[in-house]
Amino acid sequence: MLAVLGCAGSRDPDPDRDGIADDCVIPEHGLPADVFCTGLQLDRDPGQYVERVAPYEPGVTLWSDGAEKQRYLYLPPGTEIDTTDFDAWQFPEGTKAWKEFRFDGRLVETRLFWKRAPSEWASGTYIWDASGSDATLDTSRMPTIVGDDYEIPTAKDCGKCHHGGADKLLGIEAVALALPGALGVTLQVLRDDGRLSWAPSSPQARLPEDSTGRAAAALGYLHANCGMPCHSSRGLGDETQLLLRIRADEIWQLPQHGAPVSDATEAEAYAATVGVEPTTASVAQRFPGALRVTPGVHESSLLWLMTDRRDDYAMPPLVSHKVDPAGTKALAAWIDAMSP
Ligand code: HEC
């Protein structure tokens, strides 16, 4: 069953037709094949954006092998995000989030998550042609490699990481949008616009620090790159108990929660790593004697050893083919500054 967006009686979750051409075909489920039918850009022009779609950047971000990224959020007019559980936001029907990836200013892919019904998200990525004028939904089962080694994940891979979101989205969460580097749709903007069903009195946050003065940078890297997608109680890396996500209740005093942490050493990401042995037998065998974090020695700390490589033991274990130089450096600096 196909419905044409905008026709009388069609199932149109997006009352704002800006940018969506009349001849757009939107399937009942899933995503349209043409990126210009998703509602991000106007008049089939990759450089013109629909006004109601708001750009943003979380205060900590995922490393994507050096790609330049721009993110956009659309919340249908008059809707709010259910933030009753401030650490597990639930988005209104009709929510869309896009992420564009560019190299040297040239669009390579545009990823989309669209909440089409109360518990139905459609997701996928649009691959741009060489001229950068059109992009089509990627339906291949194998990843597409662009240039030397930039990997465009398959639709199946999206879920492996986005499973870590309480309601699919990952960076559109309290902590990431409240940190100093957050831009555009920040926690403050969402709160002031009446888009949150609940918000703390202070919509700003800082990551916890310890006596090294280097914990916040390292924990921020771990939060976005490991904790948000996998290493949390709701991600696929849960069984290792290597919990690296900074929870909202560690930052703010939330209803029905204990006091927030006053120092990084009280954070779960600290307790799960510093001086802790690995739980995975193959990892222990490959890196004998290494702890998750060996204070003072990044070379025998698994967090650094595994994020600083791209072989069978690499973290993250999918999509990325290049080490994040800034992230691994922040991690090493934190570990080396700890007293052994
Ligand atoms: C390696 C893990 C990983 C994979 C695979 C992945 N994502 Fe994400 N994605 C993330 C993380 C982490 C964020 C939040 C941080 C950021 O935006 O830098 C994110 C953010 C996004 C956003 C912005 C909204 C949000 O959730 O914060 C969109 C849209 C998105 N991803 C779409 C996709 C789609 C579509 C796919 C599959 C084609 C995909 N992603 C595959 C980890 C991943």
DSSP string, 20-78: --TT-EEESSS--SBGGGSSSBSTT-TT-B-TTSEEEE-SS----TT-EEEEEEE--TT
**Rounded distance from Cα 170 to ligand 1 centre (Å):** 7
| Closest C-alpha to ligand 1, atom 27 | 171
155 Cβ closer than 6 Å to some ligand 1 atom: yes
**Rounded distance from Cα 46 to ligand 1 centre (Å):** 21
Please report which confidence band the pLDDT of residue 1 belongs to, taking 50, 70 and 90 as the band edges: very low
The closest-lying atom of ligand 1 relative to the alpha carbon of residue 61 is 18
**Rounded distance from Cα 127 to ligand 1 centre (Å):** 15
Please report which confidence band the pLDDT of residue 22 belongs to, taking 50, 70 and 90 as the band edges: confident
| Closest C-alpha to ligand 1, atom 3 | 161
Distance in angstroms (rounded) separating the CA atoms of residues 139 and 155: 7
From 110, 162, 187, the mutation candidate for ligand 1 (largest count of ligand atoms within 8 A of CB) is: 162
61 Cβ closer than 6 Å to some ligand 1 atom: yes
Residue 238: predicted pLDDT: 87
Bridge partners, residue 99, by sequence: 71, 111
Residue 9: predicted pLDDT: 36
Residues 240, 280: contact at Cβ < 8 Å? Answer: yes
The answer on pLDDT for 23 being more than 90 is no
pLDDT in tens, 49-85: 999 999 999 999 999 999 999 999 999 999 999 999 9
Please report which confidence band the pLDDT of residue 5 belongs to, taking 50, 70 and 90 as the band edges: very low
226 Cβ closer than 6 Å to some ligand 1 atom: no
> Which has more confidence, 21 or 272?
272
Domain residue limits, the chain: 33-162, 208-337
**Rounded distance from Cα 202 to ligand 1 centre (Å):** 27
Report the percentage of the chain scoring pLDDT > 70. 94
Q: Which residues contact 61 (CB under 8 A, 6 or more apart)?
A: 69, 171, 224
pLDDT in tens, 89-145: 999 999 999 999 999 999 999 999 999 999 999 999 999 999 999 999 999 999 999
> Which has more confidence, 69 or 236?
69
62 Cβ closer than 6 Å to some ligand 1 atom: yes
Closest residue by Cα to residue 261 from 175, 335, 171: 175
Residues 81, 94: contact at Cβ < 8 Å? Answer: no
| Closest C-alpha to ligand 1, atom 19 | 170
